[in-house]
Structure 1
């Protein structure tokens, strides 16, 4: 018995659910979970189905689904439920998100296989080694010649090489403090998740928690989103907030903020790895939870 997860999106019209269910029934499949959503604004239909099928290899399942997908002009994918998604985690010097992701993977709480930790600093190498994760130091220097050793172009080329070499399906920016190029975002579109502190105002730049403290914010939070060429404006996967008080120190705000970042990033990574996140025309997400 194999449990499959099918996700799809297509122009919305009658008969989609019946066609998918009929194809799976023809394989002797038992649907154990099904969610769907039709976006009235975009006219796009989204669906996620989990199904148990006896003695059916992937090529047989795909062969049955392919005519349905063609008929309804579907973008679709098929995977085994719970298969760990090969993941590259990128970090700089903040350790909280790396610790959390690595711990959750080890505890079986995240369906990911972290195949590499990539950093522009050496600071977090001991943490990666503690969890038995391959660590790659890929420096980025402002003084490097364009395209030369230590340049952003060279660093991104090395990242793409590692993604190809490891077969990585997902890249997680776990407080990686370098801006990615438009070309890299396009090359890995829908496969890079970023975590960002989100305040009102957003407090861009250095020491955001100190800025928030000076302004007397009442809420701090975090946003996990897909990285795109528009900095911090990619489709949002998950958000959360914590209420804070006037007597909370900068250090206390930062500690609470880091805790929110951990939780939000872990949820976003889990939902992506479970194929619960579909992108609606590149602008927003549909998240089947």
Structure 2
């Protein structure tokens, strides 16, 4: 696989940016910010050892989490909105990003976990390529919103070992209302199929730590159980019932949630229990559930 050519192509896609599905055509390489509020510089909010991911991701030594600033979506309920919406973070050079990855490896983390990396796909690809040349050997994980361009994903093939995407919605009206995009469902489903094609189902080493594959997250939201049901149905019927799913119960009102009556409260036990029933209904036995936070 010609990684150098793919990386060059990814950077050229920023000339009139088509990196994400919004295809806003911003001249990012010339310093113009796109709809993601990002131009050609790398901004990172944090780069630390994180122990709060799913068990095979955090393991016993933690995940090397690199949290990029800004985002391609505008989710009204985002719990990290100071980073995703307000752009909190510091500028990093590509060389500093590579060094940070190697430092995290030296600390013993199980993987490098890029959080909201979509708009930095070109930078991520080049950083991974250079870091591997310098001795990076642990898996690379893309922790993303699931709103991804298949064209971009194909150019990342071979550089990403584990995909950890969301499946947020099964209804475009809800996606537009809560995240500001009217085509999330089609885009997300095509992206999930491409991720599965690249890496397959989640695979583990002898210690139960993820080494490659697909793990899909779905956060259950109040008064949106049909959205959950249809999302899980898609995973089971259109991907595979062996797909690993993380059913998340951590929803709480944040950011602009209070502008929406249905989102202005936390999740109930009854709602989460019903979501868990849908897992069983569609035969999705692989994955993890959370304790409901009240």
TM-score, scaled to structure 2: 0.30
Quick check: which one's helix share is greater?
2
Give the structure with higher Rg (CA): 1
TM-score, scaled to structure 1: 0.30
Quick check: which one's strand share is greater?
1
